Structure 1
Amino acid sequence: MKTRTLPACSPKSSNLRSYSIIGDLEVTIEVTGNPYGLPLDVMFNMAARMNKKRGFLFVSKVLGKHIPVPPQVSLLSGAALGLLLQQALNRPIPFPVETLTNAFGDAEASRFLYDEVKKQRMSMDEPTLFIGFAETATALAHSMFDVFSDQAVFLHTTREDIVSETSCINFEEEHSHATAHRCYASDPSLFHRAQRIVLVDDEMTTGRTTLNIISDIHRKYGRKDYMVASLLDWRSDEDMAKFGAMETELGIRIQCLSLLSGRIRVEGSPIEETPQPGGTINPGDVTAPVEPEIHEMNLASFAVQPCAEGAFPYLKHTGRFGMTSEDSLKLQEEVRQAASALRSLRKGSRLLCMGTGEFMYIPMRIAAELGGEVWYQSTTRSPIHPYAADHYAVQSAYAYPSPEHDGVMNYMYNIEAGQYDELMLFMEREMSAESMAGLRRVLASLGISRIYIINCGVKRLAAPEPIGSYPSDDVTFLLKDLSSIDLERPTENRERAIQAGVHYSEMLPMEFQPTAEYLRIFHETLHASGMKVAKDAGTVAELIAARRGEKIVLVSLARAGTPIGVLIKRYLKQTYGWDIPHYSISILRGKGMDENALLYIHQNHPGAQVQFVDGWTGKGAITRELKNACERMNLRYGVELSPDLAVLADPGHCSATFGTREDYLIPSACLNSTVSGLVSRTVLRDDLIGPSDFHGAKYYKEWQDHDVSNLFVDTIAGHFLGVTEAAKAEAEKRLKAEAAMPWNEMVDGDSAVTWQGMEDIIRIQQQYVMDNINRIKPGVGETTRVLLRRVPWKILVDRLDNPELKSILQLAKERHVPVEVYPEMTYACCGLIQGMGGGAE
């Protein structure tokens, strides 16, 4: 493209510039307003547009759409409009305008300044609604809105046709290739509350789009005060007169603000076909110079708009449905979590982050948090002629079918082979593999070696069918009901399969009906230890309340953790009046935690902290599995979870949140499903559990006559009033000790996680020459499981007269299992599983 200054022809000749675009197409501009003294070359370049209504395009160098920019530069362009608005309202601004505008051309300065802008948000003098125009100005308007701290609301128009929503305003963008705009405000009253409406676009050429939306807003809501903010304003005198005429006709006020304003004169004709050299590249046209790695990742960091189960949701805080300054703070935390997850993926130095269509602002914010050499741009519906000539704005173009909209083409511009090491492409919603095929082919042809497709709106999971014998207020099992399937295997057959390498979750142990003698021990234990269990459950609940507060979700590990989770929930309700959600989900040694269950919880309780709960610890295998699962959720979905596992008893010293470290008989450990809501152990098998399913379990309704699940929790909860004072005192004592000593120094404190039980396990493995440490199950709870579900070899006990071992000794007697005294261990007992000739466990 040739750029020349026109000969002197008026006193304003220094403000005249002419751009020869392609062929005879030429645009001459006369700058009449430049309040911040911005160089034109910093703001835009020119290109030929594939549009008979308007054959040219001002290609912004700050918007982050067609040309890659440091993300902070684009965010600061919206901030600059915010300063312009504040000055127009005769209100103070937090820093000199020059500081901001100088950063437009300085990537390093823009990064520093944007951090400062976020700390110094400005107040708005009256309720103000910001409306950004899709698709190009969604991020510009959002970043303008985001520099204000209160009385500000944001909404952007959309080209999306969302059948479940009703558009509150409709208007046309007459010169556009996609003319219809809609607005889906979740709270339409925001129009009635707004005393001022600020309309934001990247460019005004005629202003007809602005007049169209003002007309519809006035007709429906009768607002009187409008301000129009844009980067560029090229309206003619005739166009401006139309604004004045509408002001008079409707009795309203319209004030226009822009970083650059002036007049344009167009000569020549729109380009019908792209001349060579150039040409839009379609999928399959080229062979990639490098074979890229393409990874797909589902981020679950973001709250989603309510939608039907199984649907692909839109994000809640994009502005498409309206958002407040308070919502901005929520979005800031969501962005932080997402960036934390994505930062760990980076391996190269040059990263391109790419938004898609209207979905610009959130990817831009994430890009600004990633650090290093990061560039940002977005895909677009706008068709532009690429032309390989110096100074022409669009050097290369890639076309592909839109994944979201049938029959619509999308484009990427100005990406050259070898320009970037990595690309992160952000999709607002997860799309089907078929609809993504064209986009994937384009990505593979870009010459970028590592590509991540980031889905920010994860498919909404359906609620589970209720199972279990607990009241629904006590717990929701996030488990697929497999009751109709024969999964039980005889004990010895199951043991041989496990030791031969079959995972224990692929089959179930046989459920047994306890003998009268064994039930007698259960009831005696419940009577004798009820107060102790209540006090320990209360202590755990008090620790959770002090460390986490009310905004939590209890997530118990099915099934031993389920009754303990019910007790903690009831204690918090009785003591504090908190009605805490409680779910029970599956975790499996060697296979991890049910990620769909965690996503379901995150989707239904955004922003809440998860507190994991189990019954007791043994070797700490599940504690380690939980830690790995939390790290995986952060890496795969951007969901930050604390691996803190609250347990009633922690004899292995594996947890910092526990009721006691004493290894004693918890009555709920005595029985199988009949004390755990009639729910089996959890199942994970490929032929039974699909990609959108929760892990499975069986619901033994036929055992209802033998069910003591509610008897157990009702009995323990009945003691809460009598133990509350002691539970509070114990929790307070531990919390004071923690406060007095940093966590990284608490190696000897009462709450220290020392894993000292593992020393006993290793010694036992050596003394009894056992090939697999997983055949050693320490503690009363785990030893009970060995006797109920596995093929026991022998039972080790610390002493035969230990009152906590009555049920263990009774079960060993009934099953003819030898018992040996082994006093040198942390635990009261330990179950050893019979070797079956296989090396696996």
Structure 2
Amino acid sequence: MSAPRTSERAATKETANVVWSGSWVAERLGVELVGNGTPGGDGELRELLGLALRRNPKRAHLLVSNVLGKHVPQRPSVVYGAGFELGLRVREHLGEELARRSVVLGYAETATGLGHAVADGLGVAPYLHSTRRPVEGVVRAGGFEESHSHATSHLLLPEDPTLLGTRGEGRAGEPLVLVDDEFSTGNTVLNTIRALHELYPRDRYVIVALVDMRSPADRGRLTEFAAEIGARVDLVARGTGTVRLPDGVLEKGQALVAAHERAAEASDGGGAAAATGAGPSVPEREADTRCTRVELGWPAGVPDGGRHGFTPGHRASLESALPDMAARVADALDGDARRVLVLGFEELMYAPLRLGTALEDHTDAEVRYSTTTRSPVLAVDDPGYAIRSRLVFPAHDNPADGPGERFAYNVAGAGFDAVVVVVDSTADTPELHAPGGLLAELAAHTAQVLLAVVPSYVPYASSPAPERQEPPMLPEPLRGPVFSSYEPDDVGWLLQDLSDTELEAPTEEREEAIQSGGAHYAESLPVEYQPSAEYQDLFKAALDLSAARIARAVGTVTETVLAERSPRPVLVSLARAGTPVGVLMRRWAQHRHGLDLPHYAVSIVRGRGIDANALRWLAAHHNPADVVFVDGWTGKGAITRELSAALAEFEGFDPEIAVLADPGGCVRTYGTREDFLIPSACLNSTVSGLISRTVLRADLVGPHDFHGAKFYRELADTDVSGHFLDTVAEHFDEVADAVDAEVKELLAADRAPTWDGWAAVERISEEYGIHDVNLVKPGVGETTRVLLRRVPWKILAKRDAGADLEHIRLLAEQRGVPVEEVDELPYTCVGLIHPKYTRGATGADGKAVASQ
């Protein structure tokens, strides 16, 4: 994910030449904000913070953030950028490996959006925020108290009970990142760490805040606390300083609040000011509860926020859907709306924030963002006070603590032409729409009110199983570098990690077991082929020779998909041969169109079908109609048929595969129908992110598990996965014109599958006395696989095939396999495995080969 387009630090400079929004409180109570002693420290704090007073028996003053988006409407990109930048700093602080193994925890309600943005900046860290909303049926993973807050109890309700860890088991090397808007006394965060450390001990914690405002006395506690629990505790904050409070400030503040509220009520006679609090005058209008409801098209399966956990997979799904959702909101806005507020709802901060950032790109209007809150704060119409106005309305989410008042600050009198209210479906209640409710209050202060409802996420544990398509506890996709050498955004593997399981068997033993019917080929793995220096040199030469050709095929198949299948496809590659192609298609779409397409890899096994749990996961997180299955090449079309049959049980998926090369004439969507050397076929895991072929075995893969695979970390020194991708991508620009011309011709042509390859395989099977099409492997790619994984009988090569067969001839020589040159072969080559396999015959290298 890229950094936000707007620098929040630059944006806050807008306030540098105006009255500080904390001067009213500072002058009356003697409260001071003191910077960290560096030049400009005091000024930076004043840019970040204003001051207000609140009705709270424990703390009179309130630090009001100008970049949090809670009380002060701010540009969404500024708010998101503040958290994202902190996430980048944490990632740099921890290093890439620890950052990817972290879990981020945000605090309700104020820091739910901030914590989520920090998790985005970290990269692939899952996110959870505490909540004050109990959810029936979800087991608490923990909880804690916030002593100074008006609502003290926090619950932790992750859908995945292992997100924070397994009770009593250590989480060494898995930092917990705790995010709050301010670090004042440190009590709340330290109490949280202490409570969680007893349940899920780990060796590292990172505290993140917009401002660190601890007193000198509180600063030493952090070091003492870390020593007490035996863990490292670090702090990352954007601004640093402290608040100096004179003696008796609590009592003086309470008296000032009471006096000001009495005066405001008396001057208004208990009318409008009692409803809105003191604030700028606004035109008198009849309250209007009418509003326009906007259907967002929220992506299926994506949670409304981090209350029950939010994973990198959820993040990818949301990112791809945001532009369309923002476009729907922009289309619903009045054409003359020049100043628009996106208003979130209490803990629901991240969804409206991201909708706001996307809306900034879809309208010329000035967009601001803030949210409603439970916290009662005094409103004073003075430029030196942080809360200029407030709206008061009844709670509309059936809160556990019963009915009460809720507030929206700095909205009334702020000159908004339209307000986009974003709530979750739990909060879309009659109270929201009633006279005196939030929508009615807003209608009195703006010309247009839009309502966008995000579906409240229902964890699996709290709903009856028949209502959910997804089986219980399907995990999120595995991503590099924890699983595979690919970048985390390149591909999410819908697989389970079997790296610690012994699955390899000698090639000749596997062949005998497979052909005798004693085992399926997917129940074990061949010993990973270790290429000789000569073969590695051949791979590099082949890549240099064919990179531009491959780039053209990548461009052609990608542009065909974008034109015919979906403008924003979800790429799902068939692991593992399809995965490098899927990554290249994703890179083409990014390079040529700026599209950030989701890409996942799933397992499909001949004779046993596609991974049904992976399909269920995809259906829960994406529109099945947008899913495009991707493979490297077609041979005789067996996998094409397998996929079509498997998808018959699932609604909405298109069974057609998009492939780089279709020499068998099996599909409509392809980059080329020529049978040429694709260098990714020359190697196994070392050109596929160090991932093995997929495994499906009953004792390893249960009914609710993904198929498995191994990550060969030990082969990192010979990994060329990234080199292959980069070498091909370097040719994207030079082939762009040729791709455009070729796609134009293809879209107008008859591309119906001919199945010529299948007919040829049947003929060869009979002609050579094999009588089993599964033992005929047509095409350069499949023949290469035969030589690397199986025990071949002979290779049929098209006469004068040239450089495309150099690696085939080398492998055949190393394996002692004869190469027979033939005419009129529809493929460049075909690998044959004889059914009458016996052990005993050996090739030149001493390895067993098939014999009659």
Task: Report the TM-score when normalising by structure 1.
Answer: 0.49
Task: Report the TM-score when normalising by structure 2.
Answer: 0.49
